């Protein structure tokens, strides 16, 4: 009697066929083929769940997952607050440009193979408002001295939304702000 032991098998060895040829001085014979079945874990395991993201309004956020299984292929379906996101079927998902209304949304992914499904833990999207930007204005240098001694930095604290950028009722249009007028006829 003779035996053959394979090296350690992997999922890709599944379906491999083996046969043996026996010879002696008078003749030879070949056995029927035997097919190797590799029994591995077919259960899906999520090894890296999506991570919560924090972005500024207008930016996108990307969520990703890593999953393994002895039975391939794996398929993916992303969800937002439990609702399927159309065409979001890869191991990562990038949101469209965000708005403040997207803040607090929860993203999960359902990973599926022929033996079952598993859902990732939820990742939360935080959307932050755009940071305030100060505006530096330069005042008219009527004397053409090249010096601007009255520069003002406009901030939320020193600009009145009631007057900044309002139009004058005179025959010309005037845009004005403290210490400066720009006239257009």
Q: What would the pLDDT profile of 144-172 be if each residue is shown by its tens digit?
A: 565 656 656 656 666 665 655 544 444 44
* Residue 147 pLDDT: 60
- pTM confidence score: 0.54
More confident residue, 133 or 108: 108
Task: Provide the mean pLDDT of the chain.
Answer: 80
Do the strands 53-56 and 123-128 form a parallel or antiparallel pair, or are they unpaired? parallel
Quick one: pLDDT at residue 177?
47
Cα gap 185→176, rounded to integer Å: 14
pLDDT one-digit tens code per residue, 16-47: 898 888 889 999 888 888 888 776 667 899 99
| Angstrom distance (rounded) from CA 165 to CA 144 | 26
């Amino acid at each position: 009697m003779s035996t053959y032991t394979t090296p350690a098998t992997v999922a890709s060895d599944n379906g491999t066929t083996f046969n043996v040829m026996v010879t002696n001085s008078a003749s030879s014979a070949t056995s029927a083929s035997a097919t190797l079945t590799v029994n591995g874990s077919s259960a899906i395991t999520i090894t890296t769940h999506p991570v919560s993201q924090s972005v500024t309004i207008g930016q996108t956020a990307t969520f990703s997952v890593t999953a393994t299984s002895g039975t391939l292929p794996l398929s993916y379906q992303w969800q937002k607050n439990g609702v399927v996101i159309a065409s979001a079927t890869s191991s990562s998902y990038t949101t469209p440009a965000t708005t403040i209304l997207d803040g607090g949304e929860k993203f999960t992914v359902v990973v599926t193979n022929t033996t079952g499904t598993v859902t990732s833990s939820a990742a939360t999207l935080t959307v932050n408002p755009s940071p305030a930007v100060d505006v530096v204005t330069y005042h008219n240098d009527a004397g053409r001295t090249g010096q601007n001694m009255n520069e003002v930095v406009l901030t939320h604290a020193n600009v009145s939304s009631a007057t900044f950028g309002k139009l004058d009722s005179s025959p010309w249009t005037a845009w004005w702000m403290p210490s400066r007028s720009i006239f257009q006829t």
